[in-house]
Structure 1
Amino acid sequence: MKKTLCLAFTSISLISFSSHASTFTDPIDGMFDMGEYLAENAYGFLPVPIIITEPAVGFGAGMFGIFLHESEEEKQTRKTQALNTLDGGAQLIPPAVTVFGGAATENGTWFAAFGHRRTWKQDSIRYMGGVGYGNAFVDVGGLFERTIETDTKGLGGIQHLQFRMDDSDLFLGFSQSYIRSEIRSSNNFVDAIFKRRFGESSTTSGLGITLEYDTTNSFFFPTEGMSIETEYKWYRDAFGSDFEYDTFAFSVTKYQPLSSRFTLVGYATLDSLEQKEESNAPNFPGLSLPPLAKPYIDMRGIAAYAYSGDTVSTLQAQLMWHIDPRWSLLGFGGVGSVADQASNLYSENEWAYGVGFRYQIARRYGIHMGMDFAFSDDENAFYFNLGSGF
């Protein structure tokens, strides 16, 4: 399946290239570039192949299409900028973006998703939303003091709406999430517990408040500035949720130029979950919530949901070497920890590290694509990535 999808992507690319060869050559440096094709072709999109090596679900493949939406005035402004500077239009307000596609893996996991992001009033209002449907076979750690195979099928969606506070770099907003899922297990004993605890299906639904500080110089591939994001979300019966709990998510990303060729990136996260007493399930220790509800260590090289709990934190760093305006090499590493409360974090740690590269495939928009090769004590994996990796 992976080879078939990759071959299909290659064929589509070659057909597009032969039909629009002139639009795939940058007028400034003569390099392969899809910026003009995306801007000038009414049906143009950036095909992003997905080769999945995520240890949690096994090998797989898929494809997403990224569509950019601009007015004629915005197109002309960005085109003029791209013809006069090597940065292109990377530091202009990003266009509206629509993403659609799907993927599948060898263990039976599959998903399809649609997402959209746009801004209004000179980036004073930001919206991001998405919906997806899929079936995930994931081994989740920490259930019944062991790792349990779970089979989760469902439909879910998220939304974020943010408003710039005066003329500052601070955004106040609201978030909403909804997931309707069916949870099973190949272990008959565990499956019986799942059915008794969650029934044939269950719903998690929450509303939250967000606060973001953003001074980054590009949406698609920042090289300078800082982003601080905070979200507190309430899951309640009043919002349609079968489970009542609160989540807190905090992240900070700092892009620090060391010179014209090197950028150092620091990234830290803290995620926590607090259950309400009425939602606890004393007869099902470790299973008062759906298995995929808890935060987990999310790092390149570590299987998703392999380490999950009530409190999770990661600390990561990445050094990017910008060889020229097109090519960048990068090295990254980090540590993650799971604990029952914040004071116990980093008493036990999980490490991961790796290398990667990026190619600026659409200079007009500052879009970079590439691959990362990541390693940890338990897993090795590689990823196709759009952007810096954070």
Structure 2
Amino acid sequence: MKKAFLLLSFFLGLQFYTFAQEVDNPERKAGMMESLFDFGDSVIDFISGENWAFIPAVVYSPETSLGLGARAIRVFRYKEDSASILRPSTLPITFLYTLNNQTILSAELDLWASENRDYLNARIEASNFPFRYFGIGNEPLIGEGEFYTTRYLYFHLNYERKIAKGIYIGPRYEFRTDQIRDRVPGGILETTQPLGFDGQRLSGLGLVLNYDTRDNIFQPTKGWNNSFSWMEFSQLLGSNFDFGQYVLDFRKYFQINQKQVLALQSWWSFTLGNAPFQHLSLIGGSDRMRGYFEGRYRDINAMVHQAEYRVPIYRNFGMVFFGHTGQVASKLGQYSFDRLRYGGGFGFRYKLNQEGLNIRLDIAFGDQRAFYFGLNEVI
């Protein structure tokens, strides 16, 4: 991670030096900038076909370290004759191998149809995933975490139907099976034996209610994207754990001026019943509280509040500045200001297509300095 930070610092310093050298010659500077961005656009056009874009898959986060692989992604509209109304659908297929010896194969369909009255989301993922366990609660049992490996297969299917302006509702099914391997002999997983420490099989049905008034699904500048989801995992459906989980996710977008955007999120998760440790409410990772290892804090309940300010810089290049806070608790009465965790950071964006799909690089500061590289916005 230090090497990556030094490399980034060198690159930014080089760009600043070049800029300083060209200040007295604005025409040459403008020409160099245009050539640089023209080259970037030509690379994107080269790797993008008429229907599919094939790009090297590069990810980086504390959970995976550096991951390399391949990604095929298609951005399309289900009915071309409704292109002026219909939201774009996506189908990414990804294979990754990381320096943490993690292997990930995933495919996800995000489909809009019938003039945005129907929405379908399906995802399947298979992985061999060495990970870390820190214990349960707002104070980790082990600071650096204890390694274990999970081999899992995950699938979900979610269908929603529009019932009023901006309001969607529909059923959701989830399935996941894990084999827990390579536990530390005599470690906290073996000694404390949280539910699911020797594996899990989950199968559950639920309901999703969304209120979505975004003007763009990739780069919204205004509107709401609020959701409530309820999942019930039961032995009647083939699960070996019985529990329920409720998630509230509120997102609001403000257009500050013609181009800058402020995105806000308030996320709450509540777990009822006997949930395995891998399915408790947790915070951290690339989506909620960057700068904290995913699952470093996990418990019955969790909440996260995030803000991100997005600023276009030049053509397809932009920057974001973000901050967040959150905590986990076994009871709602345990939530308090002195238990909150804080973090923030900044990032760089490069727009891949006119729909607004972005490559992102984030540098975050929480209980560690962390880098995240991937696709799409966080909020």
TM-score (norm 1): 0.77
Indicate whether 1:385 and 2:379 are aligned: no
Q: 1:240 is aligned with what amino acid?
A: G
Structure 2 counterpart of 1:52, from 57, 60, 73:
60
Structure 2 counterpart of 1:266, from 264, 271, 277:
264
Residue matched to 2:119: 126
Ranked by relative contact order (alpha carbons within 8 Å, sequence separation 6 or more), the top structure is: 1
Gaps of 5+ in 2: 5-33
Indicate whether 1:303 and 2:298 are aligned: no
Following superposition of structure 1 onto structure 2, how do residues 108-147 of structure 1 map, counting pairs within 5 Å?
108-143=101-136, 146-147=141-142
Residue matched to 1:21: none
Contact residue 34 and residue 361 of structure 1 kept, 8 A: no
Aligned counterparts of 2:268 and 2:40: Cα–Cα separation in 1 = 41
Identical amino acids, percent of aligned pairs:
19
Q: 1:293 is aligned with what amino acid?
A: H
- Cα pair distance change 1:235/1:343, threshold 3 Å: same
Contact residue 77 and residue 112 of structure 2 kept, 8 A: no
Give the Å deviation of 1:328: 1.8
Q: 2:41 is aligned with what amino acid?
A: F
- Could you report, residue by residue, the CA deviation over 1:297-321 in whole angstroms, capped at 9, with x for unpaired residues? 1321111011111111011111111
Aligned counterparts of 2:348 and 2:205: Cα–Cα separation in 1 = 37
Aligned counterparts of 2:134 and 2:78: Cα–Cα separation in 1 = 48
Give the Å deviation of 1:199: 8.9
Aligned counterparts of 2:209 and 2:269: Cα–Cα separation in 1 = 15
Aligned counterparts of 2:54 and 2:87: Cα–Cα separation in 1 = 15
- Could you report, residue by residue, the CA deviation over 1:91-116 in whole angstroms, capped at 9, with x for unpaired residues? x5333311111222223222111111
Aligned counterparts of 2:117 and 2:236: Cα–Cα separation in 1 = 31
Structure 1 counterpart of 2:171, from 174, 181, 194:
174
Residue matched to 1:66: 73
Structure 2 counterpart of 1:256, from 249, 254, 257:
254
Aligned counterparts of 1:34 and 1:174: Cα–Cα separation in 2 = 41
Following superposition of structure 1 onto structure 2, how do residues 228-377 of structure 1 map, counting pairs within 5 Å?
228-275=226-273, 279=274, 289-297=275-283, 298-346=288-336, 347-363=338-354, 365-376=355-366
Aligned counterparts of 1:110 and 1:40: Cα–Cα separation in 2 = 27
Matched length: 333
Aligned counterparts of 1:94 and 1:265: Cα–Cα separation in 2 = 20
Q: 1:32 is aligned with what amino acid?
A: D
Aligned counterparts of 1:60 and 1:121: Cα–Cα separation in 2 = 37
Residue matched to 1:282: none
Structure 2 counterpart of 1:32, from 33, 41, 45:
41
Indicate whether 1:183 and 2:180 are aligned: yes
Q: For the aligned residues, what is the CA RMSD?
A: 3.0
Q: 2:74 is aligned with what amino acid?
A: F
Gaps of 5+ in 1: 4-24, 79-91, 280-288
